[in-house]
Amino acid sequence: MAEEFTFANVRRAVHGIARYVVSQKRIGARVIVGRDPRFLGETFCGIAGDILGSYGIAPLLIADAAPTPAISYAVIRERTDGAINFTASHNPPEYNGIKFSTPDGAPALPEVTKQIEAEVLAFDREESKAAPSVKTPAQNLDPRGTYLNRLKEAVDFNVIKKAGLRVVFDPFWGSGRGYADLALREAGVEVSTVHDCRDVLFGGHAPEPDGPLLNDLRVRMRETRAHIGIATDGDADRFGIVDEDGTFFQPNYIIALLFDYLVESRGWKNGVGKSVATTNLINALARHHQVELHETPVGFKYIGELIKQDKIAIGGEESAGLSIRYHVPEKDGILAGLLCCEMVARRGKPLGRQLQDLFAKVGSFYPQRENFRLTPQVKENFTRKLEQNPREFFGRQVKEVVRTDGMKLIFADGSWVCYRLSGTEPVVRVYSEAGSEDDLKKLSAAAKQWIFE
């Protein structure tokens, strides 16, 4: 913010979006405008509303911070021509961003964002920057009620209540406040909430529901003897889950557990989706349940397409995004946490025991992700290495090279490593997985050595 994310650039981006919407529908267009709780969010929404209105597009303004999945569901329910959402999701408080959702409630695909970029450049080239002189008045929209009703359709709250489950919810000062906890409370579930106020600095760190940042949640869980802790990030599209003993459960395992649970409890066997960097525990479960597996590039927009086509019962990414059949084609951290509550309640077992049951069923999987910063010289050398097709990797036979996104080396013993260069910073993301913790350590060391040798 105040560097790339400026008032001038916000106006340019919204003009580009408005021009794109007009190019798709000239009369009667409506676009939702929402935000997370970041600094000046209300101001940015006001600017967007004025610009949209000047193009004859009716802006539907959400007054309070709203979760990204709730905005996505509102697009579908209200049949609007998209949504502009001012959010930087799980990124640090000094950042902000603009998410554009298309009329299907999904994140804009690359072909759409390219058209918007072209419209921005076309707007820049115009001698007169004045938009059409129409003034379509703004309308108010509150997405909370309809979204909470949707959650009641997707989650069995009666099972949670009957089990006597005690839950702690951490919205990380974000737009998830008053959603998951309200839904549980209305169902008669005992729930306690931490960080239940607006803080544009998110406690002084990124609003990311990752293990090291969930200590306040753990403290409240001990105080209330809670069975599970659920958390969401700044815009509530990502989730963080803590077991009753305080163990943080990485998203890889949560997606796999929920996939197994949905097959068991809903009988959904139409398919499962995962990004190429997500655990192969899901691959093993797909074989076990005889369910079709769809492996996508990294980016939830690709999972969203599978949701829209009803090709999958659940789709997820190791970066803590998931959605399910008949739901929004967008990440939903609120839904993820509530489904975990239902799963623990119905099975009567903490997550740790459920994971051991899963390992006993299909074998053990230990995934991890690491980031490494690269000097210009190392990045140049490493980029050339990524073009190779190695047959051997530090004594491991390479069974397959997958280039769905980056380079993924699958070894004969089922372990694998995946390299993805960041498009925005000199960083390589390394994903690795092995059948034991000891082997994961060896694979991780080898994966790092391969970068810098």
Helices 41-54, 7-24: crossing angle, 10 deg rounding? 40
Is the model's pLDDT at 5 over the cut of 70?
A: yes
Cα–Cα distance, 329 to 322 (Å, whole number): 9
235 and 348 part of one domain: yes
164 and 257 part of one domain: yes
Question: Which CATH number goes with the domain that contains 84?
Answer: 3.40.120.10
Helix (H, G, I), strand (E, B) or coil at 193: strand
Identify the residue whose tokens are 């076309």.
Answer: 122
Question: Are the C-beta atoms of 354 and 285 separated by less than 8 Å?
Answer: no
154 and 288 part of one domain: yes
Q: Is residue 254 a part of any domain in this protein?
A: yes
162 and 62 part of one domain: no
194 and 173 part of one domain: yes
126: pLDDT confidence band, cut at 50, 70 and 90? confident
* Range with lowest mean pLDDT among 15-29, 37-51, 116-130: 116-130
Question: Are the C-beta atoms of 33 and 48 separated by less than 8 Å?
Answer: yes
113 and 236 part of one domain: no
409 and 447 part of one domain: yes
Decide which of 330, 362, 394 is a domain's last residue.
362
305 and 329 part of one domain: yes
pLDDT at 424: 76
Cα–Cα distance, 86 to 294 (Å, whole number): 31
Identify the residue whose tokens are 């560097």.
Answer: 3
Amino acid identity of residue 372, one-letter, is F
> Mind listing the pLDDT tens digit for each residue in 171-194?
999 999 999 999 999 999 999 999
343 and 419 part of one domain: no
Q: Is residue 1 a part of any domain in this protein?
A: no
Q: Is residue 2 a part of any domain in this protein?
A: no
pLDDT at 15: 96
> Mind listing the pLDDT tens digit for each residue in 359-369?
999 999 999 99
Q: Is residue 408 a part of any domain in this protein?
A: yes
121: pLDDT confidence band, cut at 50, 70 and 90? very high
pLDDT at 423: 78
317 and 378 part of one domain: no
Q: Is residue 355 a part of any domain in this protein?
A: yes
> Mind listing the pLDDT tens digit for each residue in 320-333?
999 999 999 999 99
Q: Is residue 340 a part of any domain in this protein?
A: yes
- The first and second tokens of residue 221, run together, are 């869980």
Question: Which CATH number goes with the domain that contains 379?
Answer: 3.30.310.50
Give mean pLDDT, residues 49-74: 97
226 and 355 part of one domain: yes
Cα–Cα distance, 425 to 142 (Å, whole number): 37
pLDDT at 135: 81
Is the model's pLDDT at 147 over the cut of 80?
A: yes
Is the model's pLDDT at 133 over the cut of 70?
A: no
pLDDT at 130: 62
Give mean pLDDT, residues 126-146: 82
- The first and second tokens of residue 49, run together, are 């509303």
- Which residues constitute the domain of residue 173? 146-362
Largest CA distance in the chain: 68
Decide which of 362, 396, 428 is a domain's last residue.
362
What are the beta bridge partners of residue 407? 419
Is the model's pLDDT at 206 over the cut of 70?
A: yes
133 and 203 part of one domain: no
What are the beta bridge partners of residue 169? 193, 230
* Range with lowest mean pLDDT among 25-29, 65-69, 172-176, 375-379: 25-29
What's the domain count of the chain? 3
- Closest CA relative to residue 147, chosen from 33, 236, 270, 35: 236
* Range with lowest mean pLDDT among 115-119, 292-296, 386-390: 386-390
- The first and second tokens of residue 158, run together, are 């009666």
107: pLDDT confidence band, cut at 50, 70 and 90? very high
- pTM of the complete model: 0.95
- The first and second tokens of residue 203, run together, are 């406690």
Mean pLDDT of all residues belonging to the chain: 96
Decide which of 362, 390, 421 is a domain's last residue.
362
302: pLDDT confidence band, cut at 50, 70 and 90? very high
pLDDT at 26: 72
